Structure 1
Amino acid sequence: MPTGPIADPGLPDHQWRPTDVDPAKEKRAERQVAILFGLSAVSTVAFLVAYFTFDIGDNWDVIGGFGASTMALGLTLGLALLFIGVGVIHWARKLMADHEISELRHPARSSDDDREVAVQALTDGINESGIGRRPLIRNSLLGAVGLLGLPAIVMLRDLGPLPGKKLYHTIWGSGTKQAPMRIVRDGIWTPILASDLEIGDLVNCQPDALHNPERYGIDPSEVEGVNLQIHKSKASLILLRMNPGDIKPGKAADGSSRANWTVDGIVAYSKICTHVGCPISLNERTTHHLLCPCHQSTFDLADSGRVVFGPAGRPLPQLAISVDDEGYLVAQHDFDEPVGPSFWERDYYER
């Protein structure tokens, strides 16, 4: 057998493509590429039209069970990228130069001496460990390593039981006609008079039942320890006062107007972002926009908590408020939709 280097066989003869020898076919391929790029441009324009046409969260805004906004934006952007990719490939295959080019490649392998030293060190390590002649150790090691995957599966139980309908309700609904649930300042638990707030004021709030459960017929043990944190995480609220003329009343889940959900320009919304559940309270006073610091989702508190920017897919849930006989702000009833981010069991358009 030969021991010297193999002779360079050279490159095969170049095969001319139809577009290389026929100007008509070359022009046709050029037009095809241009059409593909044009279709990409049309898809991009369609993306922009869809962005400004389809509103987020309207019940009519559904295509095949999916949000029309999501479907339209995803489809048009996907087609825009697809047409560019196909156009570039077609351009390369039909029109770009296709002569093969070769260059010398220097060996990247280590020297024979280095390779021998590395192999010998590995062999010595295996021999010294005795894993080859001690099957008991080898098999028990493999069994132990294999079982390490089970804790990850078992720890899934720490996620707890399915919440059922617990995410649909908060303690705000525990108020009664005789004792409507008061809105109190978070941390100091003082009730709030409508006259306490000036235009532009934003207040972080909680339900009074977390501090005075007996007033609402609630067992105090239900608002202690972990239960207290659960209630606070779901019931956290923000109040914002604005000019009443700036408010655009939306519709409740039952289709009725939210015109009576405010008090002298004071609106109440869940403090929990509908994207991934971050607490939010960064207020843009002149626009009534509330910004989430985690991923910059922005909600318009003058327009039913509508999403105006960012990844959040649903408006902030609004709480209907009024005043009691003493003039303190109270909740009319619970939120009419689940608070926080979406979850599997929830209808995306449930309001």
Structure 2
Amino acid sequence: MVITSANLRQQLAAAPFGLLIFNRKQTILYQNQTAVRLLTNEALAELLHDVALADGRAASHTRTLNLPEDHSLSWWLCPLENGVLVWVEDLSAQRRLEKSTQLFLNSLSHELRTPLTAVLAHIELLRAPDLPDAIRENSLNQIHQETNRMARLVQDLLTLSRLETAGPLAVRPIDLALLVESVVSDFILIAEEKEMLVSLQVDSALPPVLADSDRLRQVFINVLDNAVKYGRAADKITIQLTHTLPHVSVLIQDSGPGIPAHHLPQITTPLFRARTDIPGSGLGLAIAAEIVRQHGGGLQISSSTQGETGTAVTFFLPVQSGD
């Protein structure tokens, strides 16, 4: 039962699973670092109870223990001639993944069920004989809008999935100001229709940034789309590109209604929407955050619902070497 190999001891000590050896008096003869970290007093008490029930003739068995704060452990007991060998595994991450997956599927189901219900209702209405032309036209328009909404949702899901499994970025030096000007020009008319003002402020002699042009464009499209979509008449959207060594910092600031503080931690979670009264897939910021992450940064979002502070989205991009 004594582990004599120094190399084996070193490997077991740093193993990602917990390993313990007990004698027949339930005394710990060996435990590695992971076992010490995983086994709280409560978990150790439960484990000692199982060890006491095991003996040299008992069969190997496993047990899963659910602990407070979403912690979950599973252990496997193998009786030895003079004690018990225990293998401990942390299932917390797996359980959290299962939980988040279930929440995602529930949200997706809800996002698809709502437009599908509307489409089916209007199809049923169109079956009515002698339906007035105005009502028929309205139903057809509603069906068109809802099917477009579902198509956008599916497309955004595919975009996010491709981003998470895509290969390396097509990074090259790009003129960031030129790229942003192009995106802003696409939003000018939409913003003017809502009587909103969009402005771009660029540092003089802004160096080229190293980025994937197509994916970076999507970041600006998604963030600006949110700002315009949730903005109000007379709101302002300002984009600032600043050279702050060794990066270029991007700030997209609006004076809109803001995001409640309790929603901010979830704002880049796929399918999460702080407001459901305005159409959207709930994937725009999730896609933007993933693209920024792939560029080695993080999407920083701050917001206030008081006054005209609105929402600020910030991220950083590396500049071309030597500039």
> Do Structure 1 and Structure 2 share a fold, with TM-score over 0.5?
no
Which has more strand, going by share of residues? 2
Rg comparison, structure with higher value: 1
TM-score by length of 2: 0.24
TM-score by length of 1: 0.22
